[in-house]
Amino acid sequence: MTKADLARVVYERHGGISNKEAAVLVELILELIKKGLGDGEKVQISGFGTFLVREKKERKGRNPQTGEEMIIRSRKSVVFRPSKNFQNGFS
């Protein structure tokens, strides 16, 4: 499933907007979540899950191609914690 597929579902389920507008809205929703995370905020979507910015520590790693040892600098990453009802659908 891609952004275009998501836009099609939004378009099909709701009258009053065009397919193009649906695509813009899907993009807007993703951009707003990104902006929140970029500001260091956590983004909590009830019934879906929470996106958190996590600090990853500096560690030693290896270049898998050359085997050369190198330092992987500390950096931030996004982790997603699915909400309970999202998780439960798979067990």
Partner 1 sequence: MTKAELIEEVSRVSDLTKKHSEIIVDTVFKSIINALHRGDKIELRGFGSFRIRQRESRKGRNPKTGERVDVPAKKVPYFKPGKELKELINQTQEELAPPSPAEL
Residues forming the site for partner 1 (CB under 8 A)? 1-3, 5-6, 9-10, 13-14, 16-17, 22, 24-26, 28-30, 32-34, 36-38, 40-49, 51, 53, 75-80, 82, 86-87, 89-91
Cα–Cα distance measured from residue 91 to residue 85, given in angstroms and rounded to the nearest whole number: 11
Cα–Cα distance measured from residue 65 to residue 45, given in angstroms and rounded to the nearest whole number: 40
Closer of 24 and 70 to partner 1 (Cβ): 24
Least distance (Å) from partner 1 to the CB of residue 67? 25
Q: Using the structure block, give the residue that is written with the tokens 């995370």.
A: 37
Closer of 19 and 44 to partner 1 (Cβ): 44
Write the DSSP assignment of 17-60 as a string of letters.
S-HHHHHHHHHHHHHHHHHHHHTT--EEETTTEEEEEEEEPPEE
Least distance (Å) from partner 1 to the CB of residue 48? 4
